[in-house]
Chains A and B, each alone.
Chain A
Amino acid sequence: MSPLDRVLISSLLLFALPAVHADQGQKIFTQGGANPAAMACQGCHGPDGLGMAAAGFPRLAGLPAGYLSKQLRDFRDGTREHPIMQPLAKALSDEEITAVTASLAAMPAPAAPDNRRQQMAASPVQQLALYGDWSRQIPGCVQCHGPGGSGVGEHFPPLAHQPAAYLVAQLDAWRDGSRHNDPNQLMVGVAKAMTDAEVRAIADYFAAGQEVKP
Chain B
Amino acid sequence: MNAWVFSALAFTLGTADAAQVAMEDQSQLKVPPASQTPFFVPPAQSELPDNAFGRMVRDGYALFVDTRRLAPDYVGNGMKCSNCHLDQGRLAHSAPLWGAYPMYPAYRKKNDKVNTFAERIQGCFQFSMNGKAPAADSPEITALSVYSYWLASKAQVGVEPPGRGYPDVAQPAGGYDIARGEQVYAAQCAVCHGDKGQGQKVGDDYVMPPLWGKDSYNWGAGMHRINTAASFIKYNMPLGKPGSLSDQQAWDVAAFVNRHERPQDPRLVEGSVEKTRLKFHANDGVNLYGQTLDGVLIGQGTGH
Contact = CB atoms under 8 A, between A and B. Distances in A.
Contacts of B66: 116-118
B209 to A, nearest CB: 11
Contact of A134 (B69, B86, B188, B238): B86
B200 A152 contact: yes
B224 interface: no
A56 interface: no
Contacts of B303: none
Given A137-B241, A186-B240, A119 B191 contact: no
Given A118-B70, A152-B208, A147 B241 contact: no
B173 interface: no
A120 B202 contact: no
A70 to B, nearest CB: 12
Interface string B221-252: 00000000000000000111110000000000
Interface string A123-154: 00000000110100111001110110011110
Contacts of A142: 207
B17 interface: no
Given A146-B202, A190-B240, A132 B191 contact: no
Contacts of B192: 144, 155
B91 interface: yes
Contacts of A184: 187-188, 191, 238, 241
Given A117-B66, A152-B200, A184-B238, A143 B191 contact: no
Nearest to A127: B45
A134 B91 contact: yes
A101 B86 CA distance: 36
B19 interface: no
A1 B59 CA distance: 70
Interface in B79-126: 86-88, 90-91
Interface string A29-54: 00000000000000000000000000
Contacts of A120: 45, 48, 58, 61
Contacts of B87: 131-132, 134
Contact of B62 (A118, A143, A147, A183): A118
A143 B205 CA distance: 12
A185 B65 CA distance: 26
A139 B207 contact: no
A189 interface: yes
Nearest to A137: B240
Interface residues on B, range: 20 to 34
Interface string B33-58: 00000000000010010000000001
B49 to A, nearest CB: 13
A130 to B, nearest CB: 9
Given A131-B87, A186-B238, A146 B191 contact: no
A142 B61 CA distance: 17
B242 A119 contact: no
A134 B38 CA distance: 14
A134 B90 contact: yes
Contacts of B207: 142-144, 146-147, 152
B293 to A, nearest CB: 28
A106 interface: no
Given A134-B87, A146-B207, A152-B207, A189 B62 contact: no
Contacts of B187: 184
Contacts of B58: 119-120
Nearest to B205: A147
B240 to A, nearest CB: 5
Interface in B183-229: 187-188, 191-192, 200, 202-203, 205, 207-208
A152 B240 CA distance: 17
Nearest to A134: B87
A141 to B, nearest CB: 11
A150 B204 CA distance: 13
Most interface-central of B91, B192, B207, B238 (chain A CB within 10 A): B207
Contacts of B200: 152-153
Given A121-B45, A186-B239, A189-B240, 12 more contacts: A117-B66, A134-B86, A137-B240, A137-B241, A137-B242, A144-B192, A147-B203, A152-B200, A155-B192, A184-B241, A186-B241, A190-B240
5 contacts: A147-B203, A150-B202, A155-B192, A184-B238, A184-B241
In order of increasing CB-CB distance, the 9 nearest A-B pairs are A118-B62, A118-B66, A134-B87, A146-B202, A183-B191, A120-B45, A139-B240, A117-B65, A153-B200
